[in-house]
Amino acid sequence: MSEKNNLREQAQSIIQASRKQGNGKTFLLWLGALILGAILGWVGPAPLISFFDFIATVFTRLFQFIAVPTIALAVITTLSSLGAQKETRRIFAHALSYTLLTTFAAAAVGLLLYLWIEPGNLPAEAIGAGASAIPMDKVGSLSYYDHFLKVIPNNVLQPFLAGNVLSVLFIAAAAGLGLAFMPRTENREVLLKGIAGLQELLFTLIRGLLYILPFGILAFSAQLSAQIEAGVIVGALGKYVAVVMGGNLIQFFIVLPLFLALRGLNPLHVLKKMSPAIAVALFTKSSAATLPVTLATAEESLRVNPKVSRFVLPICTTINMNGCAAFILVTSLFVMQNAGFELTLPTMISWLFVAVLAAVGNAGVPMGCYFLTLSLMSSLGAPLGLMGIILPIYAVIDMIETAENVWSDSCVCAMTNNDLKDSLPESAPVSNSI
């Protein structure tokens, strides 16, 4: 009997060693693709850059194609099994608590940096010239009334066709809870088996996408490098950019790791395991499109319990927007300051709460934070020309924000899994080894 146990332990150690070796090779492959893409994008000829743009577009569409059904199936399967159990409330409570704490922390860091660096006002003629760069069809289209009204679907297909993540979550939550509380008949079991089969198919497709992802990283990196070399991404806003970028970096490398450390987790280990999802978020600029990779990485590399990951991550994709909260706060203060608004400390603190609430309700799509801020400033009558000046550099800001959002989602998922590892069946505790 002891000999069998020894053989089993040896087999498990071999599997773990091979998994670590595979993860190391994958990380090096991704890093190599990132560096090679940057070099080719900088010095490559125009036809090669066009080809990279095509490949990047293909991968972006593939991520978007998989993202919506991933969200729906993950929430349905999780709630159908946990909806009638107390574990659901506990998972949601932990996820929501960590989401609010990290989002408030991100906004607070942005506010402190704003007070410390004190960005100045821009010349009036620069603000007027920037107005021509604003996509005016977006102004006022993201009012809170319209935003919340769009969450309630008037048919089943429309949210999936439009990619409305909050509305898809609404439908998936209703279906999952309905399956959890409906009578345990043969029809219910058939439905559950069909949904489980679809989810297995989806995760097979995700693994296939991860297998060819180095080509996508190569194309994304080349595309960004070519934009920088061509002068598309430029900025002359100095202190404002320093506040936004500095806040993102502090939240990414100091605040979130501190949250992990306080919960007994090794930040370097979690960051290393979740680096594939963070890299994809950096280039897709969409936490919703990155969700399939985030889910697969959390379960296969970080060994998070699927009951946690498939419930927490889809929710965090829509409400856990650390980078967005900081951007909304800092940009709103900067625009209002240039408009001549009096920025007292109570006003700034009030806008901190506005930024957090707005970020929680923002969709995880490219430029979502920009258009939401644009709508808020439009309702105040602030000079929208300043938003046009910000627009050319927002491409880089959006990349950093999305990577921070996905990193925060990963942290919330890891902390929730760690908190509930002893109470959930088949729970895999997150390792602390690097």
Measured CA to CA, the distance from residue 109 to residue 93 in angstroms comes to 24
Per-residue confidence (pLDDT) for residue 58, from 0 to 100: 84
Measured CA to CA, the distance from residue 393 to residue 112 in angstroms comes to 22
Q: Which range among 52-56, 237-241, 374-378, 428-432 shows the weakest confidence by mean pLDDT?
A: 428-432
| End-to-end CA gap in the chain | 33
Measured CA to CA, the distance from residue 7 to residue 87 in angstroms comes to 35
SS3 state of residue 266: coil
Per-residue confidence (pLDDT) for residue 111, from 0 to 100: 96
Per-residue confidence (pLDDT) for residue 238, from 0 to 100: 72
Q: Which range among 80-84, 103-107, 306-310 shows the weakest confidence by mean pLDDT?
A: 80-84
Tokens of 339: 């408009």
Options 1.10.3860.10, 1.10.240.10, 1.10.150.110, 3.20.20.105; CATH of 30-68+88-152+215-419? 1.10.3860.10
pTM of the model: 0.68
Per-residue confidence (pLDDT) for residue 130, from 0 to 100: 40
- Tens of pLDDT along 376-391? 776 676 766 677 667 6
Arithmetic mean of pLDDT, 199-209: 79
Per-residue confidence (pLDDT) for residue 163, from 0 to 100: 66
- Tens of pLDDT along 338-371? 888 888 888 899 889 888 877 875 655 556 677 7
Q: Which range among 37-41, 55-59, 228-232, 368-372 shows the weakest confidence by mean pLDDT?
A: 228-232
Binned at pLDDT 50, 70 and 90, residue 94 comes out as: very high
Boundaries of every domain in the chain: 30-68+88-152+215-419
Rg (CA), the chain: 22
Cβ neighbours for 95, distance < 8 A, ≥ 6 positions apart: 311, 312, 315, 316, 412, 413, 416
Burial class (CB in 10 A: 0-12, 13-18, 19+), 253: middle
Is the model's pLDDT at 418 over the cut of 70?
yes
Per-residue confidence (pLDDT) for residue 237, from 0 to 100: 63
Is the model's pLDDT at 434 over the cut of 50?
no
Per-residue confidence (pLDDT) for residue 2, from 0 to 100: 45
Per-residue confidence (pLDDT) for residue 13, from 0 to 100: 43
| Alpha-carbon dihedral 178, 179, 182, 187, rounded to 10 degrees | 130
Measured CA to CA, the distance from residue 267 to residue 286 in angstroms comes to 23
- Tens of pLDDT along 44-76? 788 888 888 888 788 877 776 776 787 678 778
Per-residue confidence (pLDDT) for residue 363, from 0 to 100: 54
Tokens of 157: 């297909």
Is the model's pLDDT at 133 over the cut of 60?
no
Neighbours of 305 (CB within 10 A): 24
The single-letter code of the amino acid at 140 is G
Measured CA to CA, the distance from residue 355 to residue 332 in angstroms comes to 9
Higher-confidence residue of 131 and 366: namely 366
Per-residue confidence (pLDDT) for residue 53, from 0 to 100: 82
The single-letter code of the amino acid at 427 is S
Arithmetic mean of pLDDT, 232-261: 83
Per-residue confidence (pLDDT) for residue 78, from 0 to 100: 66
Cβ neighbours for 203, distance < 8 A, ≥ 6 positions apart: 295, 296
CA 227 to chain centre: 23
Burial class (CB in 10 A: 0-12, 13-18, 19+), 236: exposed
Measured CA to CA, the distance from residue 366 to residue 399 in angstroms comes to 9
Per-residue confidence (pLDDT) for residue 177, from 0 to 100: 82
Binned at pLDDT 50, 70 and 90, residue 405 comes out as: very high
